[in-house]
Structure formats: C-alpha cells, structure tokens
Amino acid sequence: MKKIITLLAVIGMFGLQGCTGPEGPPGVPGPESEVFELKNVNFVNDPLDSPDKGYFIYQKLVPKILDSDQILIYRLAGTIDSSTPIWQSIPRTLYLAQGELDYDFDFSKEDFIIYARGTYNLALTPQFLNNQTFRIVIIPGYFSKTIDKNNYQAVAKALNINENQIHNIDF
C-alpha cells in the first residue's frame, strides 16, 4: 500500500507541474538608456572661477537623471575609416612626449564635468583640448553591472543603441 501511495504522490507532483494559471502582470521594462554626443567642443580654462578644475567641459543634464543612474563617457580618439570611429573610455591617461594628460569626469543627477589635467602645460597640445567629440551614455544603475563599460561598442550592443538614436548636444 505504501508503494501505491508513493507512486500516486510522484505522479501527482509531475501532473501539477504542468498546470498553468492566468498570465501575470508584465515585468519591469528593459533598461532605458540615452546617448548624447558633444561634437567639436573645446575645453575651457577659467582659473579665476575654479582654479582646481584646470581645463573642463561643463554640461547640465536636461532632464535630470535618477540617483541610481550611471553615466559613461567616451572620447573620439580617431577613426579607422569614415564609418569606424575609435572610442576611448574615460578616465584615460595619455602618455605624450610633453608628459601625461589625464581625461576624467564626474557627474550628479543634474550635470557632468569632463576634465583635462596634465603634468605639463596643456596649452602646448591644443589638439587634445579643442574640437573634441564625446559620447555620453546614461544607463540605469541596476543594468550597469552586467556590461563591459570600457568598450563603447559592447555598451551600445547591450543597450540596443543605434547610431540614429544618438542626440546631439548643442554646445
């Protein structure tokens, strides 16, 4: 008798696993992300306003982002051909004949600042301060741990970002 009860219990377990109920509510939507491009911008140096900043680019975020969101910034370092840009993640240190040049940034939910600082007088290398192009990627905080943030192409692929979705920022 115990064997029959055990057999019926096992059959019952398998039978109940195949049952389905009504469809539940829709899940959380996928990550919302945005990409902005700053084209041909120049770093400014205003030692009277902010002597500790050195050269910088300041931009407000409109609309503000969520506290949990994260910003990634990439600098256009060159191109392989007309359709293949080379994006370098920031922070980045360039080792030049004149010394070291560091690009860095910080952000809040309201704005971001891109910095250029160096171990030499940066005015000697204006090609690294003028006519620069940056991509700013805003990603949800919960999604930021699952992608290679150093690789712009990996970020764009993971977030399904197409070139036609990139917003230009007038500077």
Give per-residue pLDDT as tens, 10-29. 455 545 555 555 665 654 45
pTM, 2 dp? 0.73
Mean pLDDT, to the nearest integer, of 33-41? 91
Q: Which two tokens stand for residue 28?
A: 């959380």
**How much of the chain exceeds pLDDT 90, in percent?**
46
Confidence of residue 63 (pLDDT cuts 50, 70, 90): confident
Per-residue model confidence as pLDDT tens digits over 136-168:
999 887 776 667 788 888 888 888 888 888 888
Contact between 156 and 72 (Cβ < 8 Å) = no
Q: Which of 2-6, 39-43, 86-90 has the least mean pLDDT?
A: 2-6
How confident is the model at residue 147, as a pLDDT?
74
Per-residue model confidence as pLDDT tens digits over 75-129:
999 999 988 999 999 999 999 999 999 999 999 999 999 999 999 999 999 999 9
